[in-house]
Amino acid sequence: MSQPNYVIDQMISAKSIAARIEELCFEIQREFANTEKLVVVGLLRGSFVFIADLVRELDLNVEVDFLEASSYGDTMESSREVRILKDLRGGIEGQDVLVVEDIVDTGFTMKHVLGLLRARKPRKLRSIALLDKPSRREVDVKADWTGFEIPDEFVVGYGIDYAQRDRNLPFIGKVRFVEGDA
């Protein structure tokens, strides 16, 4: 089955993303000012670009770990069943933890992951999402920090994909499907 044809319209520029990350890091540093070490947990795969830029900007002692959760696969719709595909390598009990998500949509993944990590008894657990689509929320969950609130559009770029494509775009773009050749 071939991929549908689409074009990508830029929504959020690379420059706007960089400026927002700088602002968010200032707030995160204030929240975790007294921490010995901040365990930054990236939710794979969509958050990898965001987490890289975030930790480079943070003026804190950080440890980076990853957790891979999936409720989408290669489709545009959430299955609402969250599966953990890769768990953390290290323990987080008594640690200060920041969960980094690319996008909060229905909220199922974020709620599941925060519940899973909360059960591991971190000292402090906070979350950040690059993008938030509150109009799509189906469960009561909200990131402590959000980069950008966006409308109900399917987006790619800056680590976010459509069927494993377009993660490498330096900006966030809206996917627009077209008839015939794109």
Write down all domains in the chain, each with its CATH number in brackets: 6-177 (3.40.50.2020)
pLDDT in tens, the chain (182 residues): 455 699 999 999 999 999 999 999 999 999 999 999 999 999 988 999 999 999 999 999 999 999 998 765 544 555 567 888 899 999 999 999 999 999 999 999 999 999 999 999 999 999 999 999 999 999 999 999 999 999 999 999 999 998 889 999 999 999 999 876 54
CA contacts within 13 A on the Cβ side of 45: 16
Backbone angles phi, psi at 177, to 5 degrees: -80, 140
The pLDDT value recorded for residue 179 is 79
Q: Please write down the HEC assignment for all residues of 4-16.
A: CCEEEEEEECHHH
59 annotated active-site: no
Looking at the chain, which runs of residues are DSSP E strands? 6-12, 38-44, 62-70, 83-86, 96-104, 124-132, 145-149, 155-156, 172-177
Are residues 5 and 179 in contact, defined by beta-carbon separation less than 8 angstroms? Answer: yes
Measured CA to CA in angstroms, residue 9 lies from 76, 115, 181 at distances of 17, 35, 16
- CA Rg value for the chain: 16
Backbone angles phi, psi at 150, to 5 degrees: -125, 160
* List 105, 132, 161, 166, catalytic entry: 105
CA 155, distance to chain mean position in Å, is: 13
Q: What is the pTM of this model?
A: 0.90
